[in-house]
């Protein structure tokens, strides 16, 4: 390893010239009167040499916060924080797309006696095939291009966790990867990674374009799923609680959840919240946000939830009317009881499951009445433009509140406490016929058709606060009384 040494003034000047006196972290120019620090781009500790190509200038502000990181690490850290900003769940697919523009590309493959040939980067790559002596599943080992890898949502439903990812990223700056990530490849040539996703993600974040994999060829998915669950045996303990939300918690919180489940006494959201604070040293806000995120994901991931199909995060490739962040500020904020509730999991007073089902049903109604057959960004006809107005930022906020108030009145929730619980109760199916009527009525209001050549109405609906749109609703007589027909 090269010796760490001081730079001479001439060398410093060379580095400055090369970087045009710009801070390496964000590319901003460093003022003439400001002192300059010099840092290694690749870490000195992992063999980055002290030659001038590996040195760059840094402004004072970034120098103060860079700590022991190298410049490349620091840039990657800032980019990682931006990637996770907003708290929306991020999956391996998102990360690959972020780094590579594309992800899950199909790879052409041919299997012959004893080996598999994959075609990528304009050439053929052969790998010897092995067979598992127990299941007879065929598999191979390969170091494969990142853009051909996709996330196996079926076997690996967990989103990436920023702290785990960062820890592994740092780890791989100085350590080798001992075992490969595990994938499967199906008949169509889709390569899906289901185990070791943080490991893979950390390598990709560090700029690697090839990932070490063990790949099963078209295995029995059901068996593989069971095997995978067994391998993470601890998750099995959760079978005590059958609720899917429990599974979601296990998926998202991993070890923290298992540890909490091993504590004595009855289990509840409130208990877990306290556990995260006391034993895990999370802030109250972190604990609350993490629990809320688990709830939100469960609702969005529900297959019967038709509104999820209109989320940018779930359906890429064309413009969508909603984002996860907008749902957080609208339906989730106004129609879910914020965590933590104190009811024991799956006891008679725990209505989280009902609450989820109720909201999924309502979201489906919203999709059916407001978007299905209407949302068509390519056609961009009158129906689509109307849908766009209905789903503009402030409008969604205002009609969510309107719809909630109408439903509360309809359900005769008179006290504040009753209103606050909202969907946190069992609601018979036939009530949803009324809710559908309310949704229809709101979406049929003339406010959405108004051609308004000045664009003033559209602008007021788009402003991302409830009050602006609400004042417009009032002017145009789109009120709770009108929705309820009273």
Told to check if 25 binds Zn ion by CB under 5 A, we report: yes
State in angstroms the smallest separation of the CB of 57 from Zn ion: 9
Report whether 355 contacts 424 (CB < 8 A).
yes
Instruction: Write the DSSP string, 115-176.
Output: EEEEEETTEEEEEE-EE-TTT--EEEEEEEEGGGEEE-TTT--PPP-HHHHHHHHHHHHHS-
Closer residue to Zn ion in complex, CB, 37/431: 37
Cβ contacts of 350 within 8 Å, gap of 6 or more = 268, 341, 343, 344
State in angstroms the smallest separation of the CB of 76 from Zn ion: 15
Instruction: Name the one range near Zn ion by CB under 5 A: 21-29, 171-179, 325-333, 452-460.
Output: 21-29
State in angstroms the smallest separation of the CB of 189 from Zn ion: 44
Told to check if 59 binds Zn ion by CB under 5 A, we report: yes
Residues 84, 392: Cα–Cα separation, whole Å: 24
Q: H/E/C letters for each residue in 330-354? A: CHHHHHCCCCCCCCECCCCCCCHHH
Told to check if 398 binds Zn ion by CB under 5 A, we report: no
Closer residue to Zn ion in complex, CB, 61/153: 61
| Residues facing residue 212 across a β-bridge | 143
Residues 387, 62: Cα–Cα separation, whole Å: 45
Contacts (CB under 5 A) with Zn ion, residues 116-135 = none
Among 19, 39, 40, 62, binds Zn ion (CB under 5 A): 62
> What residue is closest to Zn ion based on CB?
23
Told to check if 23 binds Zn ion by CB under 5 A, we report: yes
Closer residue to Zn ion in complex, CB, 58/341: 58
Residues 72, 77: Cα–Cα separation, whole Å: 9
Residues 14, 327: Cα–Cα separation, whole Å: 52
**Per-residue binding letters, 347-386, with Zn ion (x by CB under 5 A):** ----------------------------------------
State in angstroms the smallest separation of the CB of 199 from Zn ion: 31
| Token code pair at residue 312 | 């940018």
- Backbone dihedral angles phi then psi of residue 295, each to the nearest 5 degrees: -65, -45
Told to check if 299 binds Zn ion by CB under 5 A, we report: no
Q: In what order do the strands lie in the sheet with 123-128?
A: 108-112, 115-120, 123-128
Instruction: Name the one range near Zn ion by CB under 5 A: 60-68, 267-275, 395-403, 426-434.
Output: 60-68
Told to check if 447 binds Zn ion by CB under 5 A, we report: no
State in angstroms the smallest separation of the CB of 61 from Zn ion: 6
Closer residue to Zn ion in complex, CB, 23/252: 23
State in angstroms the smallest separation of the CB of 62 from Zn ion: 4
Residues 92, 182: Cα–Cα separation, whole Å: 13
State in angstroms the smallest separation of the CB of 449 from Zn ion: 51
Question: What is the helix (H) or strand (E) element at residue 62, kind and residue range?
Answer: helix 60-65
Instruction: Name the one range near Zn ion by CB under 5 A: 18-26, 251-259, 371-379, 404-412.
Output: 18-26
Report whether 84 contacts 90 (CB < 8 A).
yes
**Residues of this chain that bind Zn ion (CB under 5 A):** 23, 25, 59, 62
């Amino acid at each position: 390893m090269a010796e760490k040494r001081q730079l001479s003034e001439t060398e410093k000047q060379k580095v400055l010239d090369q970087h045009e006196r710009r801070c390496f972290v964000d590319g901003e120019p460093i003022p003439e009167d400001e002192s300059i620090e010099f840092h290694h781009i690749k870490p000195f500790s992992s063999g980055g040499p002290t030659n001038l190509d590996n040195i760059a200038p840094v402004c004072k502000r970034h120098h103060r916060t860079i700590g022991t990181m190298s410049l490349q690490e620091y840039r990657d850290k800032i980019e990682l924080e931006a990637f996770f900003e907003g708290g929306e769940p991020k999956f391996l697919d998102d990360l690959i797309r972020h780094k590579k523009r594309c992800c899950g590309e199909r790879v052409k493959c041919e299997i012959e006696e004893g080996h598999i040939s994959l075609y990528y980067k304009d050439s053929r790559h052969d790998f010897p095939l092995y067979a598992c002596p127990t299941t007879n599943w065929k598999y191979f080992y390969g170091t494969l291009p990142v853009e051909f890898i996709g996330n196996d949502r079926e076997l690996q439903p967990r989103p990436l966790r920023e702290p785990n990812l960062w820890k592994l990223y740092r780890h791989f700056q100085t350590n080798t990867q001992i075992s490969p990530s595990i994938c499967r490849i199906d008949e169509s040539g889709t390569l899906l990674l289901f185990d070791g996703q943080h490991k893979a993600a950390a390598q990709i974040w560090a700029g690697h374009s090839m990932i070490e994999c063990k790949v099963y060829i078209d295995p029995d998915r059901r068996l593989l799923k069971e095997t995978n669950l067994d391998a993470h045996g601890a998750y099995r303990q959760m079978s005590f609680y059958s609720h899917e939300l429990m599974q979601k918690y296990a998926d998202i919180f991993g070890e923290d959840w298992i540890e909490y489940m091993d504590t004595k006494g009855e289990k509840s959201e409130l208990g877990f919240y306290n556990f995260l604070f006391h034993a895990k040293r999370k802030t109250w806000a972190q604990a609350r946000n993490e629990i809320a995120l688990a709830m939100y994901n469960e609702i969005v991931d529900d297959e019967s939830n038709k509104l999820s199909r209109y989320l940018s995060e779930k359906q890429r490739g064309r413009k969508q009317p909603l984002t996860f962040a907008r749902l957080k500020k609208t339906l989730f904020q106004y129609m879910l009881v914020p965590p933590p509730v104190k009811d024991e999991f799956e006891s008679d007073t725990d209505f989280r499951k009902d609450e989820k089902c109720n909201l999924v049903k309502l979201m489906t109604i919203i999709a059916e009445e407001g978007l299905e057959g209407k949302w068509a960004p390519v056609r961009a006809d009158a129906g689509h433009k109307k849908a766009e107005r209905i789903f503009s930022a402030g409008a969604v906020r205002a009609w969510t509140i309107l719809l909630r108030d109408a439903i509360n009145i309809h359900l005769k929730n008179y006290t504040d406490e009753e209103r606050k619980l909202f969907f946190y109760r069992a609601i018979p199916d036939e009530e949803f016929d009324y809710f559908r009527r309310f949704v229809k009525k709101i979406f049929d209001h003339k406010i959405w058709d108004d051609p308004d050549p000045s664009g003033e109405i559209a602008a007021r609906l788009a402003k991302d606060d409830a009050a602006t749109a609400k004042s417009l609703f009032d002017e145009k007589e789109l009120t709770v009384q009108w929705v309820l027909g009273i």
